[in-house]
Homo-oligomer: A and B are copies of this chain.
Amino acid sequence: MPNSEAIGMVDQIQLDASLEQPLYRQLADHIRQLIENKQLRQGDRLPATRELSQSLGLNRNTIQTAYGLLESSGLVHSEIGRGSFVSGQAAPAAEISFATSRPRSDLFPMDDFNSSVEEVLRGEEARELLQLGSPGGYAPLRRYLLEQARREGTAQDSDDILITSGCQQALDLLQRTFAPAGSTVIAEDPVYPGLRNVFERAGVRLIGLSQSNLSGHLAAAIANEKPALVLLTPSFQNPTGSTLNEAERRALARILKQSNTLLAEIDLYSGLRYRGEALPTLRALEPGLHSLLLRSFSKVAFPGLRVGYLLGPSREVRQLIETRHWVDLHSDQFSQAVLLRFAESGRLAQHQKRMVEAGRLALDAALEACERELPASVHFTRPEGGMNLWLTLPAGMNAEALLPRARQLGINYLPGRFFALQAAADHALRLSFAGLEPAHIREGIARLSKVIREELDRRARNASPDLDLAIV
């Protein structure tokens, strides 16, 4: 095939759906698919990295990493001075993806959703929903959420709410409003990549604290770093799935209050608790805390509608609304009204109950499979809810290096590197289990175990000759 055709095909990549999927992975997947569909065949030359980097407008490193990935999965080989060539076909397999922290779409209650939409359409306000609205959000939804938060003790009378386009926008607005370039922000390490990206791209210094002893380190970190903002996810953190106990929450709230540091408390998963007792937010534990609470309908209901919210003192919320005005005016009002109807009608509570039942089965399947399948040298967190757990491979094993083999066996996950701030997490990986059925979770973890055991075997084999040599 002439190279111009190959670049034409490779060029047509569309950036894809999944949240944390890095660009190099998307490019590699695209090329993998071209090979699997026989649009690229054995012996075809891939576009030169320089050429492709220019035509895609991506960094050349990104292209090289993608090619490296394809090479390590055996799909592509490089010939020095000549370029990269297609080697052959990869084994086709129905992929079980642990890569995205999202709900199962087959659990979406479509009848209830449809009823909510129809009720909104029949409502008196339908017409005004289509007109230009308020930067703070659809007023009846704001009132409803604020009232609910007051009843549960998370909001005070003087608090206010800003409806955001999901939690991702809330993070972006926080950065733009309270953490300018050059400022410092403290977060958990490892942390959600969307958080890391927002602050790093804006030139903010991001300091990571290990979740294992947050309260032991937070006071000193605040004193040393004078952060503009501290971001914490006390319940079922992404990626670790860990939850802070009540004593730890109290200790953290006290430290934050004493230093009068602004806290952004990310609370997306606490509605998805499958075992154990519910815990209060830091915000509810310490009423004088200077804090903002980030919540969303994306985990417990429908991520595609992009509705989240930010609750806090009206002064800070007003500043965030001012920023938001110039970012995109406001969120889609129709979806805000539909979610309000879905919640008000009690349908959200019913759906949440079903989500918790399904989540418990998924979590049990994941933990049982991890116990049963994985080598004893692999450690994993045991969350009581949420969507993610965190696997730590034996020392020296690299989760990203295992990924090509994992994908050959039809599984996918995000390696630890994407979540790491200061502490290296190359030997860790995130398993997002909540989007999968229990049978697939079991099968996927069995395959993952196979990948890890193969690697342990390989290392054992390689270790012996070294040992022999050392003895001689």
Contacts and interface: CB of A to CB of B under 8 A. Distances in A.
B305 A334 contact: yes
A172 interface: yes
Contacts of A400: none
A291 interface: no
A265 interface: no
A47 interface: no
Given A15-B134, A130-B113, A132-B102, A306 B325 contact: no
A201 B326 CA distance: 9
Contacts of A304: 128-133, 332-334
B318 A306 contact: no
Nearest to A315: B57
28 contacts: A11-B314, A15-B321, A15-B322, A18-B132, A56-B318, A57-B315, A58-B318, A102-B132, A106-B127, A108-B127, A108-B131, A118-B118, A130-B304, A131-B304, A132-B303, A132-B304, A133-B303, A164-B328, A165-B165, A168-B327, A168-B328, A169-B328, A198-B326, A304-B333, A306-B328, A306-B332, A327-B327, A334-B338
A298 B102 CA distance: 30
Interface string A14-25: 111111000100
Interface in A161-208: 164-166, 168-169, 172, 194, 197-198, 201
A31 B32 CA distance: 63
A114 B108 contact: no
A135 B21 CA distance: 11
A214 interface: no
Interface in A99-146: 100, 102-103, 105-106, 108, 110, 113-114, 117-118, 121, 126-136, 139
Contacts of A316: 57
B326 A172 contact: yes
A254 to B, nearest CB: 25
Nearest to A12: B314
A298 B136 CA distance: 18
Q: Is the interface of A mostly helix, strand, loop or mixed?
A: helix
A39 interface: no
Contact of A114 (B121, B166, B169): B121
A329 interface: yes
Residue from the set A168, A302, A315, A328 with the largest chain B CB neighbour count within 10 Å:
A328
A412 to B, nearest CB: 15
Contacts of A318: 15, 56-58
A33 to B, nearest CB: 15
Given A55-B315, A315-B56, A322-B23, A16 B134 contact: yes
Nearest to A171: B326
Interface residues of A, number: 72
Residue from the set A103, A106, A131, A331 with the largest chain B CB neighbour count within 10 Å:
A131
Given A166-B328, A172-B328, A130 B303 contact: yes
A340 B259 CA distance: 51
Given A15-B321, A318-B15, A319-B57, A194 B326 contact: yes
A13 B28 CA distance: 52
A201 B15 CA distance: 29
A14 B306 contact: no
A77 interface: no
Given A316-B57, A318-B56, A322-B23, A329 B168 contact: yes
Nearest to A327: B172
B134 A17 contact: yes
A439 B298 CA distance: 46
A133 B168 CA distance: 14
Contacts of A131: 102-103, 105, 108, 302-304
Interface string A427-467: 00000000000000000000000000000000000000000
Interface string A341-370: 000000000000000000000000000000
A295 interface: no
Given A121-B117, A126-B110, A132-B17, A305 B329 contact: no
